[in-house]
Amino acid sequence: MEDLKANLARLPQRKRNPHLHSELHLLVDEARTLFGEKAKKGPGSFSFYLGFFKRLGAQEVRQLLAEVEESKIDNPGKLFWWKIKQKLTNQAPRNI
């Protein structure tokens, strides 16, 4: 437990955004920061990411982000969206 606290203390601390209310919101913020997204509307916007992340779920998104960060490629956003497309096309449709 002490190792975890020590590692967290070394990470750069960002000011907490009061608009991020849920785990999905935090994941959207992390992904947009990682990919350098600044769009206010349309593709790349917060709501664009949030719509896709809600369909996949927090655990699946976290897994995809980890895979992309681990790959260390030049364009992580392109790989991330390719992986999302693969996941969504392989998902069974939900009955509402």
Q: pLDDT (tens digit, 9 = 90+) per residue, 30-69?
A: 888 888 888 888 888 888 989 989 998 889 999 999 999 8
Q: What is the pTM of this model?
A: 0.69
Contacts of 16-20 with C-beta under 8 Å, sequence gap 24+, read none
Contact predicate 80/35, CB 8 Å: yes
Q: pLDDT (tens digit, 9 = 90+) per residue, 25-36?
A: 888 888 888 888
